[in-house]
Amino acid sequence: MKEKFRVYGERTPKATERELFNRKLSKIAAEEGIVLLKNEGVLPLQGETVALFGNGARLTVKGGSGSGDVHERYSVNVEDGLKNNGISVVTSPWLERFSAEYEHDKKDYVDRVEKAIKGYKVWNVMAMFQKIGEFKLAYPTGDKITKDDLVKADVAMYVIARQAGEGDDRKLEKGDYLLSDLEKKNIDLLARTYRKVILVINAGSIIDIAPIEHEVQAIVYLGQPGEEGGNALGEIVSGKVSPSGKLTDTWGMTYADYPTAAFRQDEKLEEYYYEGIYVGYRYFEAKGHRPLYPFGYGLSYTTFNTAYQSLEVDGSSVRLRAKVTNVGAKAGKEVAELYLARPNRKLPGEKKFLVAYKKTKVLQPGEEEEVTLVFDLAKVGAYDEKESRFFLEEGSYGLYLGGDVLEAKPVAVLLLKEDIVTEIVSKSCPKKRDFVDLALSTAKDDYEGLPVFEVEKFQPITHSYDYPLPQVSPKVQHYLDTLSNKELARLAMGGGFFSKHFIRVPGAAGNTTSRLLQKGIPPIIMSDGPAGINLLQNGAVTRSGMTRYIGSLPEQWQWGWLKKWGPKLKFLYAKDKDIKIYQYCTAWPNATLLAMSWNDDLLFEVGKAVGTEMRAMGVTLWLAPALNIHRDPLCGRNFEYYSEDPLISGHMARSITMGVQSVGGVGVTIKHFACNNRENNRTEVNSNLSERALREIYLRGFRIALEARPWALMSSYNRINGVYAADNRDLLVKILRNEWGYEGLVMSDWDGADHSKYESVLRNGNNMIMPGRKEVYQKLLAAIKDGRLDRKTLLYSAAYALNLIFAAATSQGF
């Protein structure tokens, strides 16, 4: 091999056709996910002037922080998006004052941090950045609106923005989940001044707007809309596009309406999932709580009628046909939602749950479309913990069709004359602590007069619990036969952060080893997600392979002595002869907003665009999509996840996975497996839950996503019933490999294997310890030497790793 290293990315900062195409698609994705929650004849705007206020007007949040961040070329805020769509904004003085005060606060934050790190020197740079991490720049909740700010305008718009991110949960406090006093006063003043007030919610997850919901005439949930969010909102409110997004979470009247409000353990390390399967709308319906906005809800500028047409049952497959007609005066899209109600006599259960959905094309006034909603009865059984089986009990199963979970009405009945066992499994991840799941009785609707379809008994799915080596090519088999145990250990861990890597992608989150290049085994590069590829915008590589920077150090490094001496350290910066690398990646809408499109085909296209970008940048594995359940509205990472419902979570992740991997040579990493439902103390928390809740709610989405055969899967930080996910054989072997037949690589989250012995992690199904470092390798060698880590275990890890490595586009030519 003659190459010393490889570099990808662009060689000039000019925007590529790919980048421009992705910008357009990002806007479309945002438009389809934006949800119109309320509209009393205010929207769409018809040439009215707008008095624009709120922290999100200029400081629009395009996405969450942490691994889900993206360094795009630029983003469009709400103010500019309105103006770009011909909407006149008449409150520039207030907006300028807000910007000035934010810059003042930011400067004060910087001054406080610089004072705290003044004594840190070159040799304790890591400690300096740990100290910096103790400080937080508070996200502003806005500036007071005075009577002088109340300029003449036809409509007032107030944008409430919230930011959240990895490593910390949201708080049940004013200015976070709750509105601040200032926000309430501002909105109240606008409501008393203007006849029409539009509230825009620019947040990755739910906030409590019930106290002011009655004061405004229109509410738009913008979510975190990516780099084109302002333009997408502008097209929605101007009427160029009719909103078609639907909620993928239940918005309660208060936080107390959610089951986790009663069961929440906050900072405690033992988290009990007392609510069992009753998550989101399952809980609200069973308890009889009326939400502010139900799951599946979203308004349009037109009106639709969804009518049942016919139903077919073939074995376990159910196909319902419905006709969706636009009976309003404007064009738009609609989502047909199908729910199933089980008898719930032998096991208590939810009133009904989502089993299928379909989004229409744009329908003109009077136009109709027939949609087919398909689901498999073999995959919707209740889990019987005593018998370790999924089953459908005999009785009547109501099928509900409509536009949201409350609006859906029964249209047909499936009749089972005897119990049907759908799948026989092995008891896994049993509870270690004594507690009982919540059990709620649910009143059933009257199905009299509805068409009835009898379901014939079908055979259950069964499993073998052998764990053979995966199928490999002759090339991979050669390496498995000839590599030493020490060399195999290199493939059982990542390549680390600080060593030289054969493929140079500035800002990448991880890689596999470059120490086997002479053997003909290249590394692959991994990048964070899930709102896009998280890389540095620009960098350079010298002819000898050293990384350099163009112009200045990355902004996040400009602190303390680095900020002072950085410009003078000439060796850090690129020279004319160095290879320049430009990586302007697309910032997509956050995962929840993408899911609110309810459009599988659109998610495929977004995935395909991400995959194309990955190939251009030299990235093989995208550390996304993430699909943990929105168990609690206060989870700080909900913006990275899709929904409270496992079906829509699984479908969205499956679609985006298929899109990415359709490009060829690149793959995704499904995460965080499993029960990563809070961020505080995430590396130590123990998720205590029943096997039924685990299988019906928290694992189901992953199982659906794995139908797309993702290249990799990442285990989570937390414990599940006392066992760390990275070291959990029941989870990673019995369920994932034996029952689900997963054939891809399993990796730990970054340092997520550190609570366990590394050889145990490998034995129990985690094939790659990430990100990898010298200490990990030394401990693996010690385990090999004293017999705690055998060759067979190393071969499992190597086989999965090599299969992936040689499938990568960046490995072609080796």
Span 674-688, average pLDDT: 93
User: Does residue 105 carry a pLDDT above 70?
Assistant: yes
Span 786-792, average pLDDT: 96
CB contact set of 651 (below 8 Å; sequence gap of 6+): 600, 704
User: Does residue 297 carry a pLDDT above 60?
Assistant: yes
Span 68-94, average pLDDT: 95
pLDDT tens-digit readout, 387-444: 999 999 999 999 999 999 999 999 999 999 999 999 999 999 999 999 999 999 888 8
Closest CA to 470 of 731, 765, 716, 724: 765
Least confident of 68-77, 337-346, 539-548: 539-548
User: Does residue 1 carry a pLDDT above 60?
Assistant: no
- 671, 716 Cβ separation under 8 angstroms: yes
CB contact set of 236 (below 8 Å; sequence gap of 6+): 31, 34, 36, 43, 44, 220, 242, 243
595: tokens are 């899911």
pLDDT of residue 2: 65
Give the angle 146-147-148 at the CA atoms, nearest 5°.
90
Tokens 């010690």 belong to residue = 782
DSSP letter for 147, please.
G
pLDDT of residue 552: 87
- 645, 174 Cβ separation under 8 angstroms: no
Percent of the chain at pLDDT above 70?
99
Q: How many CB atoms lie within 10 A of CB 135?
A: 12
> 165 versus 603: which is more confidently predicted?
603
pLDDT tens-digit readout, 444-503: 889 999 999 999 999 999 999 988 889 999 999 999 999 999 999 999 999 987 666 789
Give the angle 654-658-661 at the CA atoms, nearest 5°.
135
Residue 555: pLDDT band by 50, 70, 90 thresholds? confident
> What is the C-alpha to C-alpha distance for residues 346 and 51, in angstroms, rounded to an integer?
58
Residues making up the chain, counted from first to last = 814
> What is the C-alpha to C-alpha distance for residues 313 and 90, in angstroms, rounded to an integer?
59
pLDDT of residue 8: 93
> What is the C-alpha to C-alpha distance for residues 704 and 512, in angstroms, rounded to an integer?
28
> What is the C-alpha to C-alpha distance for residues 287 and 266, in angstroms, rounded to an integer?
23
pLDDT tens-digit readout, 308-328: 999 999 999 999 999 999 999
749: tokens are 């989250």
Euclidean distance between the first and the last CA atom of the chain, given in angstroms as a whole number: 8
Query: What mean pLDDT is reported for the chain?
Result: 95
Measuring CA to CA, how many Å separate 785 from each of 492, 604, 705, 779?
A: 16, 47, 39, 10
pLDDT of residue 122: 86
pLDDT of residue 501: 76
- 343, 396 Cβ separation under 8 angstroms: yes
CB contact set of 676 (below 8 Å; sequence gap of 6+): 628, 637, 682, 716, 717, 718, 725
* Amino acid at site 515: R
Measuring CA to CA, how many Å separate 338 from each of 291, 353, 368, 667?
A: 20, 8, 18, 31
Closest CA to 81 of 225, 287, 246: 225
- Helix 17-33 with 229-237: angle, nearest 10 deg: 50
pLDDT tens-digit readout, 490-541: 999 999 876 667 898 988 999 999 999 999 999 999 999 889 999 999 989 8
pLDDT of residue 278: 97
Residue 266: pLDDT band by 50, 70, 90 thresholds? low
DSSP letter for 797, please.
H
> What is the C-alpha to C-alpha distance for residues 573 and 576, in angstroms, rounded to an integer?
10
Measuring CA to CA, how many Å separate 195 from each of 6, 50, 546?
A: 61, 12, 62
CB contact set of 544 (below 8 Å; sequence gap of 6+): 4
- 625, 668 Cβ separation under 8 angstroms: yes
CB contact set of 171 (below 8 Å; sequence gap of 6+): 177, 634
pLDDT tens-digit readout, 243-258: 999 999 999 999 999 9
331-355: buried (b, 16+ CB within 10 Å) or exposed (e) per residue?
A: bbbbbbbbbbbbbbeebbbbbbbbb
pLDDT of residue 814: 78
Any bridge partners for residue 369, and if so which? 324
Model confidence pTM above 0.85: yes
> What is the C-alpha to C-alpha distance for residues 377 and 219, in angstroms, rounded to an integer?
38
pLDDT of residue 443: 80
pLDDT of residue 675: 97
User: Does residue 621 carry a pLDDT above 90?
Assistant: yes
pLDDT of residue 682: 92
Residue 275: pLDDT band by 50, 70, 90 thresholds? very high
Tokens 């609570």 belong to residue = 755
Measuring CA to CA, how many Å separate 432 from each of 650, 689, 697, 723, 728?
A: 28, 9, 19, 10, 14
Nearest-Å Rg of the Cα atoms of the chain is 27
771 cis-preceded (ω within 30 degrees of 0):
yes
pLDDT tens-digit readout, 743-765: 999 999 999 999 999 999 999 99
For residue 616, give the 3-state DSSP assignment.
helix
Q: How many CB atoms lie within 10 A of CB 485?
A: 15
Least confident of 501-505, 613-617, 691-695: 501-505
User: Does residue 264 carry a pLDDT above 70?
Assistant: no
pLDDT of residue 410: 98
Residue 567: pLDDT band by 50, 70, 90 thresholds? confident
Question: Which residues of 187-237 form beta strands (DSSP E)?
Answer: 197-202, 218-221
209: tokens are 């707007």
Percent of the chain at pLDDT above 90?
85
